[in-house]
Amino acid sequence: MARHAGVICTSHVPAIGKAIALRQQQQTYWKPFFDGYRAVHGWLDRLRPDVVVLIYNDHGLNFFLDKLPTFAVGAAPEYRNADEGWGLPTIAPFPGDPQLSWHLIESLVAEEFDITMCQEMLVDHAFVVPMQLLWPMGPPWPVKTVPICINTVQHPLPTAHRCHRLGQAIGRAIDAYDEDVNVLVLGTGGLSHQLDGARAGFINKQFDHLCLEQLVSDPEALTRYSNIELVELAGTQGIEILMWIAARATLLGDVTQVHRNYHVPISNTASGVLVMEPRETSGPRERAGSGTRRDQIAG
- CATH number of the domain residue 62 falls in: 3.40.830.10
Whether the pLDDT of residue 291 is over 90: the answer is no
Distance CA 66, CA 80 (A): 22
What residues act catalytically? 125, 193
Structural domain includes residue 182: yes
Q: What is the pLDDT of residues 15-51, one digit of tens each?
A: 999 999 999 999 999 999 999 999 999 999 999 999 9
Q: What pLDDT, in 10s, does the model give residues 197-212?
A: 889 889 999 999 999 9
Domain-embedded: residue 180? yes
End-to-end CA distance of the chain: 45
Q: Phi and psi for 182 in degrees, rounded to 5?
A: -100, 115
Kindly state whether residue 299 falls inside one of the protein's structural domains.
no
Q: Record the pTM.
A: 0.92
Percentages helix, strand, coil for the chain, rounded to the nearest 5? 35, 20, 40
H or E element that contains 10: strand 3-10
Q: What is the mean pLDDT of residues 148-158?
A: 95
Q: What does the pLDDT look like over 236-257, one tens digit per residue?
A: 898 999 999 999 999 999 999 9
C-alpha–C-alpha distance, residues 108 and 233, integer Å: 30
Give the structural domain span for 49.
3-284
- The DSSP code for 121 is -
Q: Report d(CA 241, CA 230) in Å as an integer.
A: 8
With cut-offs at 50, 70 and 90, classify the pLDDT of residue 287: very low
**Residue 292 domain flag:** no
Q: Is residue 297 part of a domain?
A: no
Number of domains in the chain: 1
Does residue 289 lie within any of the structural domains? no
Cβ 273 vs Cβ 40: under 8 Å: yes
Counting Cα atoms < 13 Å in the Cβ hemisphere of 53 gives: 37
DSSP code of residue 236 = S
At residue 60, does pLDDT exceed 80? yes
290 within a domain of the structure (yes/no): no
Whether 283 has a pLDDT exceeding 50, the answer reads no
Per the domain annotation, does 291 fall within a domain? Answer: no
